[in-house]
Amino acid sequence: METSGKEPIDHVVYSITSQGYAELRNAKSLLTLHERTVLGLIDGVCPVAQYIPFLSEFEPVVYKIRKLENLGMLRRAGMVTREAVQKFDAQVHSQLPVSSWQSISAFDQQSGFLPLGS
């Protein structure tokens, strides 16, 4: 699936594909270490917005995720509501400790997860 690179993907939940798992086991992978690390962290539960504050060493994270999707190593599993992402972003910018943040995930009904194809 080719993505334009223009639409925001912060609310998208990705899952790794069989091609992505194969690439992680490929000793001769052409992916960079950062790209492989991002690929290995995708869990099919959290939206892109939830990875960004924790992966600052891997910037630009969104670019890497788009590349992995375009290579067929990631697929879109669903999305969470924009409101959930906005609430999460507000927590990130607050003075609250990380341990008190409410996560947004495919398993949390409060986050408004919308699986694709339903």
Please write the tens of the pLDDT for every residue from 32-64: 999 999 999 998 888 898 888 778 887 889 999
Alpha helices in 3-58 (DSSP H): 18-25, 33-41, 48-51
Q: What is the pTM of this model?
A: 0.74
> Using one digit for the tens of pLDDT, what is the confidence trace for 97-108?
877 766 666 566
Strand pairing class (74-79; 12-16): antiparallel
Could you identify the residue written with the tokens 């086991």? Answer: 25
Q: In Å, how far from its chain's centre is CA 51?
A: 6
pLDDT, residue 95, reads 79
